[in-house]
Amino acid sequence: MQDPTMQVYKDETVVVIKDKYPKARYHWLVLPWEAVASLRALQGAHCGLLRHMQRVADRMVQQCPDAQSLRFRMGYHAIPSMSHVHLHVISQDFDSPCLKNKKHWNSFTTDYFIESQDVIEMLERDGRVTVKPGSDQLLKLPLRCHVKLEDCYTSELLLAQCCGVLPEDLPEGRPERCKKWLRKRLRTWTRTALTARGRARGWRSI
């Protein structure tokens, strides 16, 4: 937060930094200078702050050179890892070596990720933000494609479904059989259909 090399924008109210371990091509954090520990610590008086954070996030997306080809979401983790409230601004390509496991994926593609506007509306209406009990269990859900909203039992199938490049002869049977088949053919797909369809959806070739 204080490191100037990580800062991409700042004003008297907030600072925007690059996520140290980005989970997509574009992943920024909007943090208030004011010390607010978490969503639960927010009060009605913070409504103006959250609206300002949203406006800054919108500006970051508008200024992004790939804004026309990528989709973005802005929101908060139900149970953040950092004890300072922060707004995620993240592109939906999820093209990053730091996206390593199911927990990472589910933290941005399930209800664990609460839309910024929903948080603002809740705070304006109730004077506080309520995090649903059991939110931590959302990180354990099966992998699900965030584009087609279909369950995926392997990361390879997840990538293939998101890019729409699954061929017709996907073998039936146990997940392990499909997993080996997918791994064997994934390199071929990324040289052909993935480069065309995947890039159109915001993916880059592997």
Instruction: Report, as residue numbers or ranges, the catalytic residues.
Output: 86
- At residue 175, what is the residue type? P
- Tell which residue, 8, 111, 108, 10, has the closest CA to residue 52: 10
Chain centroid to Cα 2, Å, comes to 23
Q: Are the C-beta atoms of 31 and 85 separated by less than 8 Å?
A: yes
Distances (CA, A) of 10 to 2, 17, 33, 37, 58: 11, 9, 10, 20, 14
The DSSP output letter for 12 is S
- 24: Cβ–Cβ under 8 A, 6 or more apart, which residues? 90, 91, 92, 93, 94, 95, 96, 99
- Tell which residue, 135, 130, 132, has the closest CA to residue 38: 130
- Tell which residue, 43, 65, 53, 61, has the closest CA to residue 14: 53
The DSSP output letter for 67 is T
